[in-house]
Amino acid sequence: MNIIEINNLSFDYGKKIIFNGLNLNIEKNTFTTIIGNSCGKTSLAQILCGNLKYNGEVLIDNIIVTKKNKRELSRKIKLLSENPEKYFLKETVIDEITYLCDGSDVIDNFNYLKKLFQINDILYKNPMSLSAGEKQLISFIQSILLNPKIIIIDNAFTMVDSVLKKKIFEYLKKQKENKKMTIINITNDIEESLYGENIVVMYNGEIKYDCKIVDILKKEKQLKKIGFDIPFIISLSNKLKYYDLVDHTYYSIRKLVDDLWQ
């Protein structure tokens, strides 16, 4: 079942055409990575959230995306951006995280998240005083507590260190299963695609590939033509296969190391 349907989408900034007849479906309860360089990814995220006027048809959970329906849609979809501070309204981090939340289950989730991401020492700081990475983390935690059906990540973890980013994505994978959440990760980093199962590769406002991640990673030459290398672990395990040191492609460096160590 598709939770997002985009039919014949056209959009432009004056004379600059971004999309011309774009079609894309995203299934419910999937983790989809959208990659591409300067191809309208952020514009697409804004359209999905009802922030930009477009031509064509866009449906979110069978609701047509229009300005009239924006409030209803905001309860279903949350957008994480690279610069979340422009949305901060409260004087402390704890108030910023929780002011839109209610219910005992939210309190339990919050207690779990603050321990998981070790944010106790910043809870009573002004969110504007935080580092860029901390701001991105706080915005993420707030959005998760609102329990959206769809979460869109638009280059939203660019300032988060690699260890914390891995923890965030591993948590999101669990949320997808436990909460039946649909995750769309818009990024320029193809390494992040390994956390999801589907990938959409965009180029010049068009969709070049829309497939399972295991299929796209076989197209190394095609990806390089549009400016992307395959993830490091894929490239490494393919080289090891060439020398008969492993017998299949690995998608996890931990699994590769464990198998080589045996």
pLDDT per position as a tens digit, 128-168: 999 999 999 999 999 999 889 999 999 999 999 999 999 99
pTM for this entry: 0.89
Cβ proximity of 251 and 199 under 8 Å? no
Report phi then psi at 195, rounded to 5.
-80, -20
Rounded Cα distance, 217 and 194, in Å: 10
Query: Do residue 90 and residue 37 come from a single domain?
Result: yes
Query: Do residue 121 and residue 246 come from a single domain?
Result: no
Q: Please, what is the average pLDDT of the chain?
A: 88
Count of domains for the chain: 2
Query: Do residue 11 and residue 139 come from a single domain?
Result: yes
pLDDT above 90 (res 227): no
Query: Do residue 258 and residue 176 come from a single domain?
Result: no
Query: Do residue 111 and residue 153 come from a single domain?
Result: yes
pLDDT band for position 109 (cuts 50, 70, 90): confident
pLDDT band for position 183 (cuts 50, 70, 90): very high
CA atoms within 13 A on the CB side of 147: 12
pLDDT above 60 (res 79): yes
C-alpha angle 11-16-21 in degrees, rounded to nearest 5: 35
Query: Do residue 224 and residue 236 come from a single domain?
Result: no
The residues pairing with 199 across neighbouring beta strands, listed in sequence order, are: 33, 211
Query: Which domain does 236 fall in, by range?
Result: 231-262
Q: What is the pLDDT of residue 104?
A: 55
Spatial CA neighbour of 177 closest among 156, 205, 203, 197: 197
Mean pLDDT, residues 210-228 taken together:
81
Query: Do residue 131 and residue 218 come from a single domain?
Result: yes
Query: Do residue 197 and residue 249 come from a single domain?
Result: no
Cβ proximity of 89 and 143 under 8 Å? no
Cβ proximity of 121 and 130 under 8 Å? no
Report phi then psi at 139, rounded to 5.
-60, -40
Query: Do residue 34 and residue 148 come from a single domain?
Result: yes
pLDDT above 90 (res 243): no
Query: Do residue 193 and residue 254 come from a single domain?
Result: no
For residue 144, count other CB atoms closer than 10 A to its CB: 22
Query: Do residue 252 and residue 188 come from a single domain?
Result: no
Mean pLDDT, residues 232-238 taken together:
78
CATH number at residue 178: 3.40.50.300
Query: Do residue 91 and residue 113 come from a single domain?
Result: yes
